[in-house]
Chains A and B, each alone.
Chain A
Amino acid sequence: MRGTIRLATIIYAILIYGFIFLPVVTLVLFSFQATSFPIPPFTGPSLRWYETVLADSRLTSALGNSLIVAVISSALATLLGFLSAWGFARFYIPASAVLRGLITLPLTVSYLIIGMGLLVLFNAIGIPKSLLSAGIGHVVINLPLCFAILYSQMGEHQANIERAARDLGAREWQVLTLVTAPMLWPALFASFFLSMTFSWDEFVISFLLTRFETTLPVEIWNLLRSGLNPKTNAVGSLVFLVSIVFVLLFELTLFRKQRR
């Protein structure tokens, strides 16, 4: 009886792992396909599709755009999240709970609807579609997240240290940059890398808010029109690799924080 249950759980776990990894393994495997269709039988390994990708100027520039948008929008979201979290944690603000709720509200709304709303708004006030508007969209979706992470990390003992700094004659901006920010740096890095990951992957908002110059997910979307193609596999695998790097950085910063 016990043995059967044990066996059943092992089989179940293997099946679920299989289900979870099936698409990823397929993706990566057939990115090394030597012929032009990413379907069995596997004919590789070959790096020709990676060469095609790196030679494609649209894709490489989209990659650059993606990185720029991700870095700048995440930095901005982290900074704004930090300032608003600090404001909420240190000062008395009327109806604080309601306002905090409002800040985190965008987390529950579909990206499509946020993108849609921004599109309508930008149309109305005449901001053209561009990487800038997509970047603003990414700040909108990542700010609540940064706020939530940073707000949860601001405790009373830090407030005491800040007070001590103020007593010793530090100005408000000195307190913020020399005391508060260094104390919170793991949380700051964590929000930054998490935002990077989301911005890097984000599609709908970029799709709606950019026109000619665009980000990588949108460019991949355009590639999909040509049907199944090992080139898409190769880009997809590269994107996956970069995401994994972001996640690892995120994990590492969080891990270090836990150890302290």
Chain B
Amino acid sequence: MWTLAFFAAPFIAMAVVSLTSHDGGGGLTFANYQQFFANPSYTQALVNSLEVTLIVTVVSILLAYPFAWILAEQIPERWQRLALILAVLPFWTSYVVRSYSWLLVLAEKGVVNNTLVQLGLIAEPIQLANTRFTTVTGFVHFFVMLLTLTIFANLKQLSPSYRKAAADLGAGPVRTFLHVVLPLTFPGIMVGAFLTFVLAIGDYITPQILGGNNELLMPQLIMLQIGRRGDFPLASALSILLMAVVTVAYLASARWLKIERA
């Protein structure tokens, strides 16, 4: 019951605060929500957030699936554990540090630019830091590891007899994959995608460090309201909107998420 106290109470407090107004005028209003929808730069933050999150989710899955498949099916059994631990090792660097590392890699004179210039592929360093590209890269890096884990677990759970059955019925490896393995791991992919979506859309650190202030995402907007303006009511309203988006995403994918539980 302790959780309820410390978890539910903040939400109720937040919901109430989101209805009050910043200048201390009494009464409950929806002014903060109106303010959000009336201000294009605020709604833009939500749009940015959704775009970045969707790109990240799709790219991460596309990169992670083949990788997980290689780990699960191409690598000899006894090396798999080691290969997997290695693949998710950087997962355990702290969030802040990981983002900073990407900044190093993509900085104007950083490793990537340096290498490209040395190879003569580009004449001048390109601006990589503080763009959406960097934010996406940072996110994808994290979620490729996460998704590799979930998809790997999924592939390992598949009973080999499915594959044998498909082969017995005359399907080649490609058809087996497309018609048997892929559909069977689909629920796992959806769970991973949902996890990615939820974690990415609520993250402040990665966009703040890597994206800079050129393009605001929702969590940055929330922090801005707290940090610079001390506007808790608006920040609460924004948080609640963000939660609403996550809830909608959950409901939209619940159909597939449920299959997994069954």
Could you tell me which A residues sit within 8 Å of B by CB distance? 6, 9, 12-13, 16-17, 19-24, 26-27, 30, 37-40, 80, 84, 102-103, 105-106, 108-114, 116-121, 123-124, 136, 139-140, 143-144, 197, 200-201, 203-204, 208, 217, 220-221, 224, 228, 232-233, 235-236, 239-240, 243-244, 246-247, 251
Contacts and interface: CB of A to CB of B under 8 A. Distances in A.
B240 to A, nearest CB: 8
B67 interface: yes
B107 interface: yes
Nearest to A103: B3
B226 A110 contact: no
Nearest to A250: B92
Interface of B: 2-4, 6-11, 13-14, 17, 63, 66-67, 70-71, 74, 85-87, 89-90, 92-98, 100-105, 107, 109-111, 114, 141, 144-145, 198-199, 201-205, 209, 219, 222-223, 226, 232, 235-236, 239, 242-243, 246, 250
Given A12-B70, A16-B63, A203 B105 contact: no
B100 A136 contact: no
Contacts of B102: 23
Contacts of B74: 6, 9, 13
A168 B163 CA distance: 53
Interface of A is mostly: helix
Given A120-B13, A121-B10, A247 B96 contact: no
B87 A20 contact: yes
Contacts of B239: 112-113, 116-117
A240 B92 contact: yes
Given A106-B3, A140-B3, A236-B100, A23 B141 contact: yes
Contact of B92 (A23, A112, A235, A247): A247
16 contacts: A6-B74, A12-B70, A22-B111, A23-B141, A37-B109, A106-B7, A108-B250, A110-B203, A110-B246, A111-B202, A117-B11, A144-B3, A201-B95, A220-B100, A239-B93, A240-B93
A26 B223 CA distance: 29
Given A228-B103, A236-B93, 13 more contacts: A26-B105, A39-B107, A39-B110, A40-B109, A80-B2, A112-B223, A113-B202, A113-B243, A116-B14, A117-B10, A117-B11, A117-B14, A228-B107
A24 B111 CA distance: 12
Given A39-B114, A116-B222, A228-B104, A143 B13 contact: no
Given A20-B145, A23-B90, A110 B14 contact: no
B145 to A, nearest CB: 6
Contacts of A106: 3, 7
Contacts of A247: 92
